[in-house]
Structure 1
Amino acid sequence: MLVAQVQFRQAGKRYYFNPNQLSVSDQSLVVVETVRGIELGKVVGKLVEVKEEELQNELKPILRLATDNDIEENDYNKSLEIQVIHVTKELVRRNQLDMKLLAAEYTLDRDRLVVYFESENRVDFRQLVKDLSESFKTRIELRQVGSRDGAKFIGGIGLCGLITCCTTFIGEFDNVSIKMAKNQNLSLNPQKISGNCGKLLCCIKFENSVYEELRQNMPDVGDKIVTKEGKASVISINILKQQLKVIYEDGSFGYVFLKDIEKKHAN
């Protein structure tokens, strides 16, 4: 069946919805029903074919294309978020809770207010929910997120000097391992391979497949090879350049490109 992919925030997770025979296309603003209530989202890309057994939850329909009134309501809701955060911070301080507020958002009909926060510990926020309900006269949902999601809400500049990937295009976080960093010959110093969230850099994951492909035919450090200049041992490798630094039998050093190796792993 054909489904539409809908996002609710920049670089957010994409959710499947039934287009419900509506004429939707890439970047169409639509009103949908979610588990939280009525929300405004944006269609991303073309309709895609998905098998019913691949759907994890019941496929909800797109209710309508967003009207001018829907867009105005959504903009008005966003204008309220700064005040919501201000009031919530004061209530958090009053209740002496160890939590870092990240963002707040209303559903389109303002039937529910969702407040996102980060904390290293489990937080008993029952009294806070009561206080927020009294202040904003709507249903309250407090959602604790991890450090990666927290960094995504806040945004910032990465080690590369560019805006962080999580706020520009990464919709869902993948697992990143130290093995991937080793594959890329990266320094294993946590300060050099960790992002603003304190976790391993996301770019290590989506660059890893390229490194694995380039690494396939390269010898390892310590392997012996035969070059035009004679036999040598590999002392370091540059995966991207496809180049090796070697030491020859006479003790001299040199650089060899992978394509120029006459024989690998020679005895």
Structure 2
Amino acid sequence: MGCTSCATGANGQPKGCKNNGTCGTDGCNKLTVFDWLSNMQLPADMEPFNAVEVRFKNGRKEFFQNPENLTLSIGDVVATEASPGHDIGIITLTGELVRVQMKKKKVPVKVEALPKIYRKASQKDIDIWQGVRNKEADVQKRSREIAIRHGLQMKISDVEFQGDASKVIFYYTAEERVDFRELIKEFARTFNTRIEMKQVGFRQEAARLGGIGSCGRELCCSTWLTDFRSVNTSAARYQQLSLNPQKLAGQCGKLKCCLNYELDTYLEALESFPNTETKLQTEKGNATCQKIDIFKGLLWYAYENEFANWHELTAEKANEIIELNKKGKKPLALEEFIIESPKAEKEPFSNVVGQDSLTRFDQPKQKGKKRRKKSRNKNRGKAEATAGTAQKNKPRNKAPKRTGNKPSNKPRNPKPKRNE
């Protein structure tokens, strides 16, 4: 649900929202929610839910009540209750879906206990709000310099001003407990405002800042993911992934949240597989599992004395051998349970669309003519070079000097004189 300003511009290039976090339809913001109940009417005897969801900087959302029964819609800028003063936010959700969101986030569904919405923001409120938002980058830089000067092992990741400029919230991450009492005093003297410090986890920090993951998409935590479940290395082991911390870790430095997305499917598929630590006992010897393929349902076993030779078995055959071992029976060898399936020959190219050749529009290469032309040009160049060298080395004959009349070897015949 992007806004109209996100349409395609000239030459097929995207325009971009350019609203800087104040998208009218909330389609270009973090953790946006589609109101699928907006076109549905309530029953006649049911009153609308008098609470709204308001979004602040970097996806911070809170729920507020509407005691004045203001006509609010998604994208409206409102002044909300804060301690102290008031804050400025944007409406992201109204109606019955707010009740669903409150239940999902485990917020008590009591409208009377929620903070209030004072009014729709005036132009003066918006100017003050935008003015303090523009100062946040400079304040963050100066606060980091002060923290480094105090020698505190902490990282100030984000700074957020309250809408009325009466308070500044500093979000920081730290491995251990930090004593920042002196830091707060210096912050108050430097910035001349009320200071609040909030410690966030590394995953919450990545969600606030955003970024692009290794998959090429925006981070899940900054777009739609709201609950951060613990991720263990066992999730990677169940999915047969290499335990490489550089590939398994996200931008937050922790294990990627997407390792849990397909974990249930892998666990369900592994229920039909035997335990990989169980050895298969045969008359030929005991065999241990070397590798499994969850998608194809195959396992590879090797005898203890012949680890170089692997035998491919299906999960059903391996379970059958294990059941025989439990009954005290041993098959002769693993080769009895191997099912040889014919391997399909791979075609290098298949004509699926009825075309003769994928390069039918390309000009054919005329190798013979090019070679003859190249050799002809080469021989011609050699001949010209030889002729030029001979002409250069040839001695020149000096021409006779001219003395007025043109010399001639033939004797002249005098004309006979006429008799007068």
The TM-score range, normalised by the shorter chain, is 0.7 to 0.9
Deviation per CA, 1:25-64: give whole Å up to 9, x if none. 2233222113465222222233223699951883111222
- Which has more radius of gyration? 2
Aligned to 1:173: 228
Match of 1:212 among 264, 267, 287: 264
Matched, 1:16 2:66: no
Other structure's SS at 2:89 match: strand
Aligned to 2:187: 132
Aligned to 1:43: 91
Aligned to 1:70: 125
- Give distance in 2, aligned partners of 1:236 and 1:41: 51
In structure 1, the gaps of 5 or more residues are: 224-233, 256-267
Aligned to 1:250: 338
Describe how 1:83-232 pairs up with structure 2 within 5 A: 83-182=138-237, 184-205=239-260, 207-208=261-262, 212=264, 216=268, 220-222=272-274
Deviation per CA, 1:162-195: give whole Å up to 9, x if none. 2222233334433334455455554444333221
More relative contact order, 1 or 2 (CA 8 Å, 6+ apart): 1
Matched, 1:28 2:76: yes
- Give distance in 2, aligned partners of 1:23 and 1:152: 32
Q: Percent identity?
A: 32
- Give distance in 2, aligned partners of 1:194 and 1:14: 27
In structure 2, the gaps of 5 or more residues are: 1-48, 276-290, 300-311, 314-336, 344-420
Other structure's SS at 2:170 match: strand
Aligned to 1:263: none
Structure 1 position 15, deviation (Å): 1.9
Other structure's SS at 1:44 match: strand
Deviation per CA, 1:181-219: give whole Å up to 9, x if none. 4555544443332211122212234x24xx536864775
Q: What letter matches 1:118 in structure 2?
A: T
Does structure 1 retain, via aligned residues, the 8 Å contact 2:168–2:196?
yes
- Give distance in 1, aligned partners of 2:236 and 2:63: 33
- Give distance in 2, aligned partners of 1:13 and 1:178: 30
Aligned to 1:258: none
Change (3 A) 1:216 1:86: closer
Aligned length: 238
RMSD: 3.3
Does structure 2 retain, via aligned residues, the 8 Å contact 1:222–1:235?
no
Q: What letter matches 2:79 in structure 1?
A: V
Aligned to 1:237: 294
Range 73-82 or range 186-195, more displaced: 186-195
Q: What letter matches 2:144 in structure 1?
A: K
Other structure's SS at 1:132 match: helix
Q: What letter matches 1:16 in structure 2?
A: F
- Give distance in 2, aligned partners of 1:70 and 1:183: 54
Does structure 2 retain, via aligned residues, the 8 Å contact 1:13–1:172?
no
Does structure 2 retain, via aligned residues, the 8 Å contact 1:36–1:107?
no
Higher relative strand content: 1
Structure 1 position 13, deviation (Å): 4.2
Aligned to 1:55: 108
Range 107-116 or range 212-221, more displaced: 212-221
